[in-house]
A and B are shown apart, each in its own frame.
Chain A
Amino acid sequence: MLIMRRQPAQLTKLMSTQAATTHAPAHADAHDGHHGHAGFWTTYVFSTDHKVIGIQYGITALLFLFFGFCLMMMMRWSIAYPGKPIPIVGPLLEKVLGDVAAKGVMGPDLYNSFGAMHGTIMVFLGVVPLAFAAFGNFVVPLQIGAPDMAFPRINMASYQAYVVGGLIMLISFFIPGGAAQAGWTSYSPLATTITTNGQTFWVIGMVFLITSSLLGAVNFLATIIQLRAPGMTWMRLPFFVWAQFVTGFLLLLAFPPLEAAALMQLMDKVAGTSFFLPTGLAVVGRHISGGGSPLLWQHLFWFLGHPEVYVLILPAMGIVCEIIANNTRKPIWGYKSLVYSALTIGFLSFIVWAHHMYMTGMGTKISTFFQTTTMIISIPSVIILTCLFLSLWGGSIRFNTPMLFSLAFLPMFGIGGLTGLPLGFNFSDLHLHDTYYVIAHFHYVVAPGTIFGLFAGIYYWYPKMTGRYMSEFWGKVHFTGSFIFMNAIFQPMFAQGMAGMLRRMADGGANYAAASVPGAIGGLSHTIMYFNQTISIAAWCLGLAQIPFIINFFWSIKHGKKIESDNPWHATTLEWQTPTPPPHGNFTKTPVVHRGPYEYSVPGRDKDYTPQNEDDAVPAKPARA
């Protein structure tokens, strides 16, 4: 009876909500207009629109990338010319940071801070937010034909947590003693026992950043699982979406152990626990119960740290794949191999972490296991790279800026990957561990690798975001400069590392130079030391080479060449089948997907691309015999 009586009221409620929803599309334009007038704050700052959040992420991450790069440019001075005041910025540093930069000279403490923060900022505040959050936010919902992310408000919260985490990291530069000094890996007990509060800020900042990427990962995965347009089956997803899907799982499952580790390090730092402090460790002014394990931190850190590498590289592979298919005008070679390789990488990346720890004395049996898995994980990586290379075969390639960056990505990532093999083998790692060889290796993967992929993505999707192209000429200038100087920076580092130059030395190894210890065996030769200067000069030139990009990026918003249509690159994927820029809600009507993502140059069709939502029922030419 009760139910019966209640029903009519509910029914009318239901009908009225239905009426409201059916009403909405009719007023779609007015709806957008409303958003346009909703004021600066709700439109640009507290927006729940995935495209706005994507752009927010993108710009913030680019700023952090630039900031992290500036830290490195200053550090390169200290490496090349240790003890000499930094020109131009030296006095400024002294004014802002005080004694650590007395007389404009970068002291070792400041060098350590900058080094730790360079790594942290580049990885957690620069590349991951740009690759995963920015491109993922802007592109993924469009590519799967969704109106927005599954949880728009969580999406906004994710960005806000990211900003808070970033601000905490930035503020830590100005507290007494400066920012964290124990490297981006923050190994305990060093990180715990440095008396300044930089590490505490670092840990709290990390908790916010981890929360941010956790919210992001849940959102992306739910979006890809739930919001695919009708007909968008799993094997019709563009590879970029697959890459983001695997990345999402890596972030979801690999980050929490670091959060746990961060909590424990925070406890060590502020509550006086000894999670990572061994028995017998003595620190002035502090009673330590001991019993903790420094190895525990390393295990937890690298449990995130290694999947993190694939978090950095997979989205870039996805971007490059899209651009190569589009600019060779042919289907990507081995789509299924790419997908299964990405999934395999995702799985295997969870069981290779301890190859970062061969030198810790964890035992040869464990080393052997991780050495084996490390070799196995190189197989799917090679498959992906091979597929992308083979995709070029026989294509009529358009050499525009995004394509140039994508093409450069392939050998750069190849170098980065192949030089990783000697590090993955226990026996050769013993020599190369913690040297500049390692730095060169992972920078080849991330800097000319991932970051080139990201630049490619920016040039490629910019027209969809703004309705204008970025300047081709300045894009090519940017590419040429970046390509030359990236290699001039990182190639000599392999030689330095093999000669035995260790990383994290503020004086660039001057203490170990053959010149300062005459007759010593294994001293760093004159040539190896000389590379310090050439690398630094190349780094500053790389900085100059970014100026055309920065100007191009902002100038083109208003003055770039207007695109001729909503699909300027003649692409097949769904993000190009929307109005430009896509309105709130993205598509004018729900797209229905009829085909795979890369139907380029299908024989018999009247144009060399067939968008995923084009219906077979109305073929342009009756060509299928």
Chain B
Amino acid sequence: MEIPYTTEPREDTGLFNAKVGIWLFLASEVMLFGALFSSYILLRVGAEPGAWPHGLLNIPLGMTNTIVLIVSSITVVMAWASLKMKDFAKFKMFQSITLLCAMIFVGIKSYEYHDKFTHYEFQVKNGAVLEVHDENGGHHELQLKTDSVLDGHLLETTEDGYVVHGHVIDPQAQAAVTHAWQAREIKEDHITVKKSDVTYKENYGPWHNTYMAIYFTLTGLHALHVIGGALVIGFLWGPGAGMWKTDPERYTNRIEISGLFWHFVDLVWIFLFPVLYLL
């Protein structure tokens, strides 16, 4: 006996096996991301007042990535529809756009990650003297009157100091920011600080605070899903495409299944973007 319903749908369920399988799998994926989203809520609700950071992420980049993924979701359907209409060349074209989108997404995401790993918080001693070069070529020295936090991107580490593109945090102005979209006109300058004045420095990696932790965990897991989905789609696009000749119906089903997964991955991002970037 052979396993039935691998390609043709079963009468009473109306589905072929893999379609049942992928929907069940997606149900479990919902629970996986659901648990992480719930954790996000619990961590945020449990955070001390004012401690949850806002505006750390680049909204235009996140928006671009959202659009990129939505486009890929469309092309993935078009690719499947092309196969249904037996137009293999068109399928190839659409699916290559999908793959391109996946690459753009991962590229932008890596840039954002890199940005966080070079973004530092320096705790600077009271009385330290900072050298400030502003954009207009102006140059002055700033003496701190209290223990302060210098926040910005590390440009260069010299023998005895750090060159940072950033600003000294004003606690009052910081507390007034409660949402990411509140425009913050913070002037960022090239600031040089002596190593001996820095008591502690830490970049915005997952260890920085629970917001960064959940940001890296959620987007990292999502990025793994994007890469995994792209590998499957890429395999079916390239080396696995031979099945179109031997068993076109089954091949079309495979494209449909990988497409369902891809839609799910997009959908997760649709939730991730507002939750992490905007709220």
Contacts and interface: CB of A to CB of B under 8 A. Distances in A.
Contacts of A225: 13, 20
B29 A256 contact: yes
B213 A267 contact: yes
Interface residues of B, number: 49
B28 A222 contact: no
A285 B244 CA distance: 58
A2 B43 CA distance: 58
Contacts of A299: 42
B217 A590 contact: no
A287 B205 CA distance: 13
B221 A222 contact: no
Contact of B2 (A6, A264, A272, A585): A585
A272 B206 contact: yes
A261 B5 contact: no
Contacts of A226: 4-5, 10, 13, 15-17, 20
A221 B214 CA distance: 32
Given A225-B13, A253-B28, A260 B35 contact: yes
B235 interface: no
Contact of A279 (B10, B13, B48, B214): B48
Contact of B39 (A264, A279, A289): A264
A227 B13 CA distance: 11
B207 A273 contact: yes
B1 interface: yes
Contacts of B247: 13, 17
A198 interface: no
A218 B43 contact: no
A287 B4 CA distance: 57
Q: Secondary structure of the A side of the interface?
A: helix
Contact of A296 (B21, B42, B205): B42
Contacts of A24: 2
B86 interface: yes
Given A226-B15, A252-B27, A255-B28, A289 B209 contact: yes
A19 to B, nearest CB: 13
B34 interface: yes
Contacts of B214: 275
B210 interface: yes
B202 interface: yes
Tell me which of A152, A222, A259, A295 has the highest count of chain B C-beta atoms within 10 A of its own C-beta: A222
Contacts of A255: 28
Nearest to B88: A6
Interface in B58-103: 86
Interface string A205-225: 000000000100111011001
Interface stretch (A83-91, A143-151, A547-555): A143-151
- Of the four ranges (under 10, 10 to 19, 20 to 34, 35 or more), the interface on chain A belongs to 35 or more
Contact of B31 (A253, A267, A279, A293): A253
Contacts of B181: none
B246 interface: yes
Contacts of A21: 2
A255 B31 CA distance: 8
A585 B2 CA distance: 7
B46 interface: yes
B53 to A, nearest CB: 11
A293 B48 CA distance: 12
B21 A274 contact: no
Nearest to B36: A260
Nearest to B210: A291
Interface string A269-302: 0011111000100000001010111011001100
A587 B4 CA distance: 13
Interface in B204-223: 205-210, 212-214, 216-217, 221
A460 interface: no
A3 interface: yes
Interface string B178-218: 00000000000000000000000010011111101110110
A10 interface: yes
Nearest to B42: A296
B21 A300 contact: no
Contacts of A146: 3
B29 A275 contact: no
A271 B207 contact: yes
Interface in A171-228: 214, 217-219, 221-222, 225-227
Contacts of A267: 206, 213, 216-217
Nearest to B9: A226
12 contacts: A10-B248, A13-B245, A17-B246, A147-B4, A221-B20, A227-B5, A253-B28, A259-B35, A275-B213, A287-B202, A289-B210, A299-B42
Interface of A: 2-3, 6, 10, 13, 17, 21, 24-25, 146-148, 150-152, 154, 214, 217-219, 221-222, 225-227, 252-257, 259-261, 263-264, 267, 271-275, 279, 287, 289, 291-293, 295-296, 299-300, 303, 585-587, 589-590
Query: Which 6 A-B residue pairings sit nearest by Cβ, starting from the closest?
Result: A272-B207, A147-B1, A257-B35, A273-B213, A256-B32, A260-B35
Given A291-B48, A293-B43, 18 more contacts: A147-B1, A151-B18, A152-B3, A154-B21, A221-B24, A226-B5, A256-B29, A260-B39, A263-B221, A267-B216, A271-B206, A273-B210, A274-B210, A279-B48, A291-B46, A291-B209, A292-B43, A292-B213
